[in-house]
Homo-oligomer: A and B are copies of this chain.
């Protein structure tokens, strides 16, 4: 897999113009959803002739539209717009746009160049980087797709000013995860910050440090045979919380689920690998103070464990797999926890969350 270039900037348009000059595509296409079409695209169009002259492809908002119908709409629009192997696709949006646009780019004529411009903190720190592209299919998330990195990812905080504090916190949880799997220095810098009151330049700096953690891991293991599983920290329990919330018909933001999942999985890390208790308490306090609590009772445990068992990260249906830490930055992948240990960890999670 080729390695992708990351550009951290608050001047997106000059970087787009420079890219288009460098690659000289036969034609430029911009993929947006209905939101970025209204809120972000006009700014780029006003400042860049190349974007103003591009063909715009629009999809509907939301994960529910990350499906085969939207993908076929993108493919057809590329055909009808006269796209060739030398055309370029710019994906301008959150995780849905970069995931589906990435797969469209990876599969059109067996692959054309695509560029991601994430417009949310969550997609900047996660979906837009690392080459996991795809769509949901037959009720399963990301069931169809490809490992294919964007040629370039242009990361800017300038579009985040319109994000709600919930959206900012959602992205910040993935940054905390990157801190935990890198080193104490990066991690401490994140915990010292109040994400609700952070200026765009400081955020860009923290974001750059955080994305580089992911980039290094992805380069080492692009198709998740090993160390890339470090990025799953917090996600086995987090996905279970997300699924339970969906079942309750009151969905929670992905990043919040990851934040609470981090607490559960660091409790497990403490139980199995002696992750330091003072660090555990510090994280749990930060999460509770900033994210509040996701409410679970003992009655929810069987459902949560069932969700964890069906996580596609498990190699076998009999074992529940976690990424754990012995220390901040000391990663142990493919750790198995028993149901009893998971129940104990959920008990301790509830203590931390004052439930």
Contacts and interface: CB of A to CB of B under 8 A. Distances in A.
A72 B312 CA distance: 21
A75 B140 CA distance: 12
A276 interface: no
Interface string A140-164: 1011111100000000000000000
A223 interface: yes
A293 interface: no
B223 A144 contact: no
Contact of A312 (B75, B84, B312): B84
A108 interface: yes
A247 B314 CA distance: 52
A79 B312 CA distance: 12
B107 A146 contact: yes
Interface string A109-146: 11100000000000000000000111001101011111
B146 A110 contact: yes
B144 A108 contact: yes
A76 B138 contact: yes
Interface in A305-339: 312, 315
A189 interface: no
B140 A79 contact: yes
Interface residues of A, number: 31
Contacts of A79: 137-138, 140, 143
A106 interface: yes
Contacts of A107: 103, 107, 144-146
A142 B109 CA distance: 7
A251 to B, nearest CB: 23
A72 B135 CA distance: 13
Oligomer copy total: 2
Contacts of A75: 137-138, 143-144
A106 B146 contact: yes
A85 interface: yes
Contacts of A140: 79
Interface in A80-109: 80, 84-86, 103, 106-109
Given A79-B140, A137-B75, A138-B79, A85 B312 contact: yes
A244 interface: no
Contacts of A312: 84-85, 109
A44 interface: no
A271 interface: no
Interface string A270-283: 00000000000000
Contacts of A146: 106-107, 110-111, 146
A120 to B, nearest CB: 22
Given A76-B138, A140-B79, A110 B147 contact: yes
Nearest to A135: B107
B143 A111 contact: no
A134 B147 contact: no
A68 interface: yes
Contact of A68 (B72, B133, B223): B72
Interface string A4-47: 00000000000000000000000000000000000000000000
Nearest to A132: B110
10 smallest beta-carbon distances between A and B, as pairs:
A110-B145, A79-B138, A107-B144, A110-B147, A110-B146, A76-B138, A107-B146, A75-B144, A75-B137, A110-B134
